Amino acid sequence: MKTIKALELAVAGWFVAASTIAWSQPGEAASAPASAQGASEMAASGPVAPAGRKADRALRRKVYAAIGKYKEISAGDISVIVKDGAVTLNGTVTEAAQIGNVEAITRRVSGVMSVTNKLTVKKPFGGM
Partner 1 sequence: MKFKSSSLAVLMVISAAAHAQSSVTLYGVLDSGLLYQSTSAATFLPTARNLGHVYQLKDGGIYASYWGMKGSEDIGGGYKITFKLQGSFNTTNGKFGLSDTPGTTALFNQYATVGATGPFGTFDAGRQIIPMIYAMAETDVRGAQYFGSILTAWLGVNQAAGWPGTSTNAPIGALYDSNALVYTSPKFYGTTLALEYAPGGVAGQFQGGTRESAVLKYSNYGLNLSAVYYNGHDTNPFPLTYPTAPATPATGLDNNRFYYFGAMYTISGFSVSASYALGKNPAKSSTVDFEMASGGLGYQFNPSFKITSGYYYLKDRNNSANHSSEFAVGAEYNLSLRTKAYAQVGYVNNKGTMNQTIIYGAPVAPGVSTTAAMVGIRHSF
Applying CB under 8 A, which residues contact partner 1?
A: 61, 64, 67-68, 71, 74-81, 88, 90-92, 96, 118-128
CB of 118 to partner 1, least distance (A): 6
CB of 9 to partner 1, least distance (A): 21
Give the residue with the Cβ less far from partner 1, 42 or 77.
Answer: 77
* Beta strand spans in the chain (E): 78-83, 86-93, 114-117, 120-121
Give the residue with the Cβ less far from partner 1, 108 or 123.
Answer: 123
What is the rounded end-to-end Cα distance, in angstroms, of the chain?
50
The answer to whether 92 and 121 have CB atoms below 8 angstroms apart is yes
Give the residue with the Cβ less far from partner 1, 42 or 81.
Answer: 81
The answer to whether 89 and 79 have CB atoms below 8 angstroms apart is yes
Spatial CB neighbours of 43, under 8 Å, sequence gap ≥ 6: 51
The answer to whether 87 and 114 have CB atoms below 8 angstroms apart is yes
CB of 43 to partner 1, least distance (A): 27
CB of 53 to partner 1, least distance (A): 16
Give the residue with the Cβ less far from partner 1, 24 or 35.
Answer: 24
